[in-house]
A = this chain, B = another copy of it.
C-alpha cells in the first residue's frame, strides 16, 4: 500500500511556488525565475513553468519574458486563498460517477447517479469552504513561524 504516490501533490507545489515568489518579492526582488523556485521545490524548472502557466491563466501569477525575465504575483499573498489555487490547477471533481452507464432497467442503476451526485456536490462544497479559509499569507506566516 505504501504512501499513495498517485495523490495530487500539485496543490502543495503550487502553494509552495506562490509563497516562495511572495517572500522573494517582499525581500526586494522584482521577479523570480523558474530555476530558483525549482531549486527550493526540488524539481525540474519545466514543472514549475507548467504550473505557473496555469496559475497565470487563473489570474494569480504573471511573467515577464526576455533577459532579466521571471515570475511575479498578480495579487498579494493575502488576496489568494488555497481555494483559488485549487481551482486554478485541479480541473476535475474528486469523485466520479460510473465510467460505463449502469443498467437503466435496474432501479438502483437508474437512480444511483443523481443520488450520488447530490452527495458529491455537498462534499465538494465543504472542501471548497475549507480551502477558502486559508490564504497564502496564512501559509507564509506558518512557514516563518516554523523556522
Residues in chain A within 8 A of chain B (CB atoms): 1, 3-9, 11-13, 15-16, 19-20, 23, 39-43, 82, 91-103, 106-112, 114-116, 118-119, 122-123, 126-127, 129-131, 133-134, 139-140, 142-147
Point out the residues of chain B lying under 8 angstroms from A95, CB to CB.
7-9, 11-12
Q: A23–B97 Cα gap in the complex (Å)? A: 20
Contact status of A111 and B9, CB under 8 A, knowing A91-B4, A103-B42: no
Q: A13–B100 Cα gap in the complex (Å)? A: 11
| Identical chains bound together, number | 2
Q: Which residue of B lies closest to A105 (CB)?
A: B40
- Sample (9) of A-B pairs whose CB atoms are under 8 Å apart: A4-B92, A5-B99, A7-B93, A7-B96, A110-B146, A115-B142, A115-B146, A119-B134, A126-B126
In the complex, the answer to whether B42 meets A143 with C-beta atoms within 8 Å is: no
Point out the residues of chain B lying under 8 angstroms from A1, CB to CB.
91
Q: A5–B99 Cα gap in the complex (Å)? A: 8
In the complex, the answer to whether A40 meets B109 with C-beta atoms within 8 Å is: yes
Point out the residues of chain B lying under 8 angstroms from A7, CB to CB.
92-96
